[in-house]
Amino acid sequence: MITTFQQHIQEQQQEVSEASGTFSYLLAGITLATKMIQAKIRLAALDNAYGAIGQTNVQGEQQQKLDVYANEALLHCLGLKDSVAALVSEEDEEPVTFDRSLETGKYIIVFDPLDGSSNIDVNVNVGTIFSILKRQPHGDLNASILRPGHTQVAAGYVVYGPSTVLVYTVGNGVHSFTLDNTIGAYVLTEEHMKMPDQGSYYSTNEANAATWPQAYRDYLELLRSGGLGREYSSRYIGSLVADFHRTLLKGGVFLYPPTSKQPNGKLRLLYEANPLAFIAEQAGGSAVGGGSVNKACSRILDILPEGIHQRTPFMYGSKREMEALAEVLGK
């Protein structure tokens, strides 16, 4: 017998207080949007959906046609849910808010609608990342949005590749589902995923290494030299979701340190680092960030955001590699 994503959420309702009927209905909006996105990606070349649209987003990045489609799909599917108080997207300068009462609009969803979209044209895996926050009973919506990552009630991502895979957590382990297009549902393929305690891969853009703080260069040399008791291979896709998914399954470490060009880091805290850090910790790994070229990093989930598009250095991985990283950075 198969277990669908919705059935899995309903089964967890007895163990996880957040997995209520309302919450399940909310997640259905996310899964519907991602099914629409994966269908559009599969037909992108035939639908003339590749390429840029000729304008930039709030990040100063060229918007791809599929960026716009993915963002609109999520805004539409989630905006219809009465339980949503606000939506925060990488593609929008400000949150999209809804005039809903505290009793009704209980949740805030932040998301990167199509991570790695610049790789679409060359048929490389891309993904959607999302995080769900509980609206606070006091203060305005910004106060509910700009909260540390450890307050997330759920996080997940979808990787669009040879198969479409959804990985999520509600703080009760990490679970993986694969989209079965024959029945139009995400089907459970692995429960309580665990990141290996040590891997054989490191993932980073080594072209930037000369501009890293010295400690990160020392750590990279430690990996290359076999200082952790094994030989490492380099694997870097340049699509955050794809690199994370490989690390979750195979172990190892991902490094995106501060650079001279991006002294405060490049990846976004709220809708990239926080949800993936939540998943990493639930799978037995860890994630650090914050800091800068002159400031020490810390646990990602403890960082208090100052803005919805705040950037951060981002390092995550298996227990052994992350312990070694902490030791090197501590020196």
pLDDT(18) > 90:
no
What proportion of the chain, given as a percentage, has pLDDT over 90?
78
pLDDT in tens, 115-143: 988 787 888 899 999 999 999 988 889 99
Task: Please report which confidence band the pLDDT of residue 24 belongs to, taking 50, 70 and 90 as the band edges.
Answer: confident
- Final residue of a domain: which of 190, 209, 224? 190
Average pLDDT over residues 16-33: 82
Token duo for residue 55? 């304008």
Asked if residue 23 is part of any domain, the answer here is yes
pLDDT(22) > 90:
no
Select from 165, 145, 189 the least CA-distant residue to 246: 165
Instruction: Based on the fold, state whether residues 104 and 216 are members of the same structural domain.
Output: no
**Cα 8 from Cα 19, distance rounded (Å):** 10
Select from 32, 317, 281, 20 the least CA-distant residue to 174: 281
Select from 105, 248, 246, 267 the least CA-distant residue to 169: 248
Range of the domain at 263: 201-330
User: How many helices and strands (H and E) does the chain possess?
Assistant: 8, 18
Asked if residue 271 is part of any domain, the answer here is yes
* Residue partners of 221: CB distance under 8 A and separation at least 6: 227
CA 39-271-214 angle, 5° bins: 120
CATH of the domain at 46: 3.30.540.10
Alpha-helix residue ranges (DSSP H) falling in 16-85: 21-42, 65-79
Q: How many domains in the chain?
A: 2
Average pLDDT over residues 94-121: 91
pLDDT in tens, 228-251: 999 999 999 999 999 999 999 999
Asked if residue 61 is part of any domain, the answer here is yes
Average pLDDT over residues 215-219: 96
Determine the pLDDT at residue 123.
84
Instruction: Based on the fold, state whether residues 119 and 260 are members of the same structural domain.
Output: no
Instruction: Based on the fold, state whether residues 266 and 148 are members of the same structural domain.
Output: no
Determine the pLDDT at residue 11.
82
pLDDT in tens, 59-100: 666 677 889 999 999 999 999 999 999 999 999 999 999 989
pLDDT(17) > 90:
no
DSSP string, 73-94: HHHHHHHT-TTEEEEEETT-SS
Asked if residue 161 is part of any domain, the answer here is yes
pLDDT(16) > 80:
no
Q: How many CA atoms lie within 13 A of 114 on its CB side?
A: 31
pTM of the entire predicted model: 0.94
Q: Are 276 and 151 in contact (CB under 8 A)?
A: no
Asked if residue 100 is part of any domain, the answer here is yes
Distance, C-alpha 314 to centroid of its chain: 11
Instruction: Based on the fold, state whether residues 299 and 208 are members of the same structural domain.
Output: yes
Average pLDDT over residues 105-115: 96
Average pLDDT over residues 22-48: 88
Instruction: Based on the fold, state whether residues 66 and 214 are members of the same structural domain.
Output: no
Select from 49, 175, 178 the least CA-distant residue to 114: 49
**Cα 313 from Cα 292, distance rounded (Å):** 7
Average pLDDT over residues 6-11: 88
CATH of the domain at 246: 3.40.190.80
Determine the pLDDT at residue 64.
79
Instruction: Based on the fold, state whether residues 274 and 217 are members of the same structural domain.
Output: yes
Instruction: Based on the fold, state whether residues 115 and 212 are members of the same structural domain.
Output: no
Token duo for residue 260? 């001279």
- Final residue of a domain: which of 164, 190, 216? 190
Asked if residue 83 is part of any domain, the answer here is yes
Average pLDDT for the chain: 91
Instruction: Based on the fold, state whether residues 156 and 59 are members of the same structural domain.
Output: yes
**Cα 217 from Cα 23, distance rounded (Å):** 44
Instruction: Based on the fold, state whether residues 28 and 154 are members of the same structural domain.
Output: yes
Token duo for residue 121? 């044209």
- Final residue of a domain: which of 190, 220, 248? 190
Beta-bridged to residue 110, according to DSSP, are: 88, 131
DSSP string, 216-281: HHHHHHHHHTTTTSS--EE---S-HHHHHHHHHHH--EEEE---SSSTT-SEEIIIIIHHHHHHHH
**Cα 166 from Cα 31, distance rounded (Å):** 9
**Cα 17 from Cα 74, distance rounded (Å):** 25
Task: Please report which confidence band the pLDDT of residue 295 belongs to, taking 50, 70 and 90 as the band edges.
Answer: low
Asked if residue 195 is part of any domain, the answer here is no
Q: Choose the weakest-confidence range: 107-121, 206-220, 281-295.
A: 281-295
pLDDT in tens, 262-284: 999 999 999 999 999 999 999 99
Is 301 exposed, middle or buried (CB count within 10 Å of its CB: 0-12, 13-18, 19+)? Answer: buried
Instruction: Based on the fold, state whether residues 30 and 168 are members of the same structural domain.
Output: yes
Average pLDDT over residues 8-22: 72
Q: Is the dihedral of CA 247, 78, 61, 146 positive or negative?
A: negative
pLDDT(19) > 60:
no
- Please identify which residue in the block is written with the tokens 């990279």: 220
Instruction: Based on the fold, state whether residues 71 and 165 are members of the same structural domain.
Output: yes
143 C-beta neighbours (distance < 10 Å), count: 11
Instruction: Based on the fold, state whether residues 155 and 293 are members of the same structural domain.
Output: no
Asked if residue 289 is part of any domain, the answer here is yes
Q: Are 99 and 65 in contact (CB under 8 A)?
A: no
pLDDT(293) > 60:
no
Beta-bridged to residue 234, according to DSSP, are: 202
Determine the pLDDT at residue 328.
94
